[in-house]
Homo-oligomer: A and B are copies of this chain.
Amino acid sequence: MLPTIKWKKDHIVMIDQRKLPEEEVYVECRDHIQVAEAIEKMVIRGAPAIGVAAAFGVALGILKIEDDKHVEEEYSRIIQRLERTRPTARNLFWALERMRKIFEENRGLALSRLKQSIIKEAVNIEREDIETNRKIGHWGKSLLQDGDSVLTHCNTGALATAGYGTALGVIRAAFQEGKRISVYADETRPLLQGARLTCWELEKEKIPVTLITDNMAGYLMQKGMISTVVVGADRIARNGDTANKIGTYTVAVLAKEHGLPFYVAVPTQTIDVTLAEGSEIPVEERSAQEVREFGGRCVTLPRVNVENPAFDITPAAYITAIITEKGVCRPPYEKSLKELFKRKKRMKKDSV
């Protein structure tokens, strides 16, 4: 398992994902501001990993509070700072809501006990994430067949989560039960998470991987070289519309055109029940420099006009199934996602 992020009593350590695969450098964060900046600069990225990092950020934040007079206001400010880091991934807000709730539940405790409960919740979020990913893999692996050639976009592996991965977790689980799976990895411009992170992870796992530029997937599908698509997501609306890394929608259109299944693998925390449809999901626009540069070097005119949406929205109609830790949802998602949350509550009582 790759060490994406680890809690170390009074600080956290995360691998600097901007520098992979060239260098394996670890970054320490000692307060919530450093964590917020690490999320903004994409030292750590991937919706579930952002959620875990934010929870740890809150824990580091409360550790610094020494006077218990204004704990509530200070705690709120910590959470607000972390909320402002990136707007699209639901997991960030989901984790911060849990951290807010645990505070509410324990506000009567002495400060040192309160700190302990906050830290425990953050560590729980990390542990649960790995467990959740394994369950996503369990449900998803039956959708992949022996001999499948799977296209994936961006990075959805151990690095995008606390460990194991969502879409890559499905691929990993199918591979581990002996299915011969090979992967095409979109390089995923502008930040090249596919080229840099997905290839690195798959090679470590000895899962066969072929790197392509984002504009090659259509041609490979036309030639029959891709049989299935599996991607992750940053936020899913009630109707199944899915925000994921820019380029996902194009892959979904191509999959439809070639009659290929298009699967989305996510923890249920990614589903935003407050949003009716994808048009309500905020899409982050990032710095123009990310597009103007390639591997840190300017490849165009230094001031050329640029669009840089970090995500796009894939309408539910393009999605064959949504794989979660609670099972596989099929269209219509309005209904199947709702049932998932009912099931979740029931399962809590009955145990899984």
Using a CB–CB cutoff of 8 Å, the interface residues on chain A facing chain B are 21-22, 184, 186-190, 192, 195-196, 199-200, 203, 208-220, 222, 246-247, 249-250, 253-254, 256-257, 291-292, 294-301, 304-309, 312-313
Taking a contact as CB atoms under 8 Å apart, the answer to whether B305 and A209 are in contact is: yes
Taking a contact as CB atoms under 8 Å apart, the answer to whether B246 and A294 are in contact is: no
A188, A292, A307, A309: residue with the most chain B Cβ atoms closer than 10 Å: A307
B-side contacts of A22, CB under 8 Å: 298
- For residue A102, give the distance in angstroms from its CB to the closest CB of chain B: 37
Taking a contact as CB atoms under 8 Å apart, the answer to whether B304 and A213 are in contact is: no
Known: A216-B309, A253-B257, A294-B192. A211 touches B247 (CB 8 A): no
Taking a contact as CB atoms under 8 Å apart, the answer to whether B218 and A306 are in contact is: no
B-side contacts of A208, CB under 8 Å: 305
A190, A219, A256: residue with the most chain B Cβ atoms closer than 10 Å: A219
Taking a contact as CB atoms under 8 Å apart, the answer to whether A220 and B294 are in contact is: no
Known: A291-B187, A312-B222. A306 touches B246 (CB 8 A): no
The count of identical subunits is: 2
- Which one of B189, B199, B250, B304 lies within 8 Å of A304 (CB-CB)? B199
Taking a contact as CB atoms under 8 Å apart, the answer to whether A300 and B219 are in contact is: no
B-side contacts of A189, CB under 8 Å: 187, 189, 213-215
B-side contacts of A216, CB under 8 Å: 246-247, 307-309, 312
B-side contacts of A21, CB under 8 Å: 300-301
Taking a contact as CB atoms under 8 Å apart, the answer to whether A313 and B222 are in contact is: yes
- Which one of B200, B210, B215, B254 lies within 8 Å of A188 (CB-CB)? B215
- Which one of B187, B199, B218, B296 lies within 8 Å of A250 (CB-CB)? B218
- Which one of B196, B209, B211, B250 lies within 8 Å of A291 (CB-CB)? B211
- For residue A286, give the distance in angstroms from its CB to the closest CB of chain B: 11
